[in-house]
């Protein structure tokens, strides 16, 4: 009995494969087809579109990026109607108006600064001659009456 | 056709034809090599297909440092061992505990046509750790030379002999117990 168990693995029947393949003989043909379908890349047909595709893709990408950038700038208000020309006109206008204003102010200031009450008083004769030339006798008599009061 | 002739055909540009010849020559041997490890036809089918896909992808870089036959077996073995590791991790079991799952698979396998003794043998082999199981299967069933097994598993011949001896004794012991019951 002991010898029988010790040599049990020497039994040639045990070396036979007790399993079968469920799918039968066709299994290996199907398996090979499955493998081939997974490894073989279908051949590509080269048409004009195949060659143009990369360039078209590039153009579309640029268009998309430009569109997005324009949209973002419009929404944030970074874009306005002020073209360089319009900016120049405004600046020139500002400069000219401010120059005139400053010029006038300077003129007034210099006139005021140049006037001296002590030295530049008007003579009485000049006043009389101005009034007689500019006013009628009636108006003059009224002024004279006011002065006498 | 010899392996060297197939490889020559591959290098001459007839890649698809050479690959078809490799599949035809080795599909059945590799199928049973994997099936004896994973014990399930569907899993074996997936692993065999993955093996051939890897062979196709790597055939161009095959330098013939080893023979084509041992190279194919090594790819199939790695696929099967990785699969077993993943399965046992997924089931949160150690590889030795996962062997019980494999034992149950054998018992319920509808494609098993053997007798009681053959069933006991398969269950005893399923109890072995994966690498001992590999060595036992290749030596006992496929009657491979130790040198070839050494090339496939990258283990020294001395270590292989020791491993086979251990596996043989374990299977015999387990078989004894199962037959006595």
* Residue B64: CATH number of its domain: 1.10.1740.10
B154 plus B181 within the same structural domain? yes
Q: List chain B residues with pLDDT less than 70.
A: 95-96, 181
CA dihedral B171, B177, B179, B181 (to 10 degrees): -160
Last-in-domain residue among B92, B119, B149: B92
Place of tokens 């097994």: B149
Which residue spans within A1-145 are E strands per DSSP?
Answer: none
Last-in-domain residue among B57, B92, B127: B92
More confident residue, A2 or B97: B97
Predicted ipTM of the assembly:
0.85
| Per-residue pLDDT at B10 | 92
| Per-residue pLDDT at B25 | 95
Domain count, chain B: 2
pLDDT higher than 60, residue A51: yes
**Distance separating alpha carbons of residues B51 and B64, to the nearest angstrom:** 18
B72 plus B84 within the same structural domain? yes
Last-in-domain residue among B92, B112, B128: B92
Query: pTM for this structure?
Result: 0.64
Q: Is B150 on the interface with A (CB under 8 A)?
A: no
A17: left (phi over 0), alpha (psi -120 to 50) or beta: beta
Q: Do A8 and B118 touch (CB under 8 A)?
A: no
- Chain A: give the shortest CA distance to residue B114, in Å: 5
| Per-residue pLDDT at B113 | 87
Give the mean pLDDT of A72-100. 64
pLDDT tens-digit readout, A88-140: 666 666 555 555 555 555 556 555 555 555 555 677 788 888 888 888 888 88
Q: Which of B16, B132, B30 is nearest to B72 (CA)?
A: B30
3-state helix vs strand vs coil in chain B, percent to 5: 80, 0, 20
B149 plus B63 within the same structural domain? no
Question: What's the angle, vertex CA B46, arms to CA B44 and CA B48, rounded to 5?
Answer: 65
B87 plus B126 within the same structural domain? no
Pairs of residues, one from chain A and one from chain B, whose beta carbons lie less than 8 Å apart: 76
| Per-residue pLDDT at B101 | 78
pLDDT tens-digit readout, B6-46: 999 999 999 999 999 999 999 999 999 999 998 889 999 99
Q: Do B118 and A18 touch (CB under 8 A)?
A: yes
Chain A positions touching chain B (beta carbons under 8 Å) = 5-6, 8-9, 11, 13-23, 27-28, 31-32, 34-36, 38-40
B111 plus B125 within the same structural domain? yes
| Per-residue pLDDT at A23 | 76
**Distance separating alpha carbons of residues A125 and B32, to the nearest angstrom:** 142
């Amino acid at each position: 009995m002991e010898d029988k168990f010790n040599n049990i693995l020497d039994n040639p029947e045990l070396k036979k494969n007790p399993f079968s393949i469920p799918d039968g003989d066709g299994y290996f043909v199907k398996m090979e087809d499955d493998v081939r379908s997974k490894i073989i890349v279908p051949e590509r047909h080269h048409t004009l579109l195949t060659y143009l595709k990369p360039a078209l893709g590039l153009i579309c990408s640029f268009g998309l990026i430009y569109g997005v950038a324009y949209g973002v700038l419009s929404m944030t208000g970074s874009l306005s109607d002020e073209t360089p020309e319009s900016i120049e006109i405004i600046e020139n206008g500002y400069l000219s108006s401010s120059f005139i204003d400053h010029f006038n102010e300077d003129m007034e200031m210099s006139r005021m600064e140049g006037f001296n009450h002590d030295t530049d008083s008007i003579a009485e004769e000049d006043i009389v001659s101005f009034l007689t030339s500019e006013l009628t006798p009636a108006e003059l008599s009224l002024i004279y009456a006011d002065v006498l009061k | 056709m010899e392996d060297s002739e197939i490889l020559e055909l591959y290098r001459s540009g007839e890649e698809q034809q050479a690959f078809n010849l490799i599949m035809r020559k080795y599909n059945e041997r590799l199928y049973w090599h994997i099936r004896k490890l994973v014990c399930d036809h569907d899993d074996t089918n997936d692993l065999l297909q993955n093996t051939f896909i890897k062979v196709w992808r790597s055939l161009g870089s095959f330098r013939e440092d080893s023979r084509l036959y041992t190279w194919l077996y090594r790819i199939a073995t790695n696929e099967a061992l990785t699969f077993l590791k993943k399965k046992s991790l997924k089931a949160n079991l150690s590889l030795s505990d996962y062997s019980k799952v494999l034992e149950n698979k054998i018992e319920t396998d509808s494609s098993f046509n053997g007798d009681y003794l053959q069933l006991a043998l398969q269950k005893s082999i399923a109890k072995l750790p994966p690498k001992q199981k590999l060595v036992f299967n290749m030596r006992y069933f496929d009657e491979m030379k130790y040198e070839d097994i050494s090339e496939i598993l990258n283990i020294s011949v001395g270590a292989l002999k020791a491993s086979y001896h251990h596996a043989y004794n374990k299977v015999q012991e387990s078989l004894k117990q199962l037959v006595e019951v």
